[in-house]
C-alpha cells in the first residue's frame, strides 16, 4: 500500500536513485514497526 504512489511521482533522472528510494522506504517501514535505528 505505501508503495503504490511511487509510479505517479518517481522520475528516472530525478534527485533520487532507485537505491536511494529503496533505502528511504526501508527506513520508513522499520520506523513504523518500532525500530529506532536503521
Q: How confident is the model at residue 37 (pLDDT cuts 50, 70, 90)?
A: confident
For residue 9 the three cell numbers come to 511521482
Q: Say if pTM beats, i.e. exceeds, 0.95.
A: no
Query: Does residue 1 carry a pLDDT above 80?
Result: no
Domain range enclosing 1: 1-38
Q: How many domains does the chain have?
A: 1
12's grid cell: 528516472
Helices (H), ranges, the chain? 6-9, 18-32
Q: Check if the beta carbon of residue 19 is closer than 8 Å to that of residue 8.
A: no
Q: How far apart are CA 16 and CA 20, in angstroms?
A: 6
Q: What is the pLDDT of residues 2-26, one digit of tens each?
A: 677 777 788 888 898 989 988 988 9
CA distance 32 to 24: 12
Amino acid at each position: 500500500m505505501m508503495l503504490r504512489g511511487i509510479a505517479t511521482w518517481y522520475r528516472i533522472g530525478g534527485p533520487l536513485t532507485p537505491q536511494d528510494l529503496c533505502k528511504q522506504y526501508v527506513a520508513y517501514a522499520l520506523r513504523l514497526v518500532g525500530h529506532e535505528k536503521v
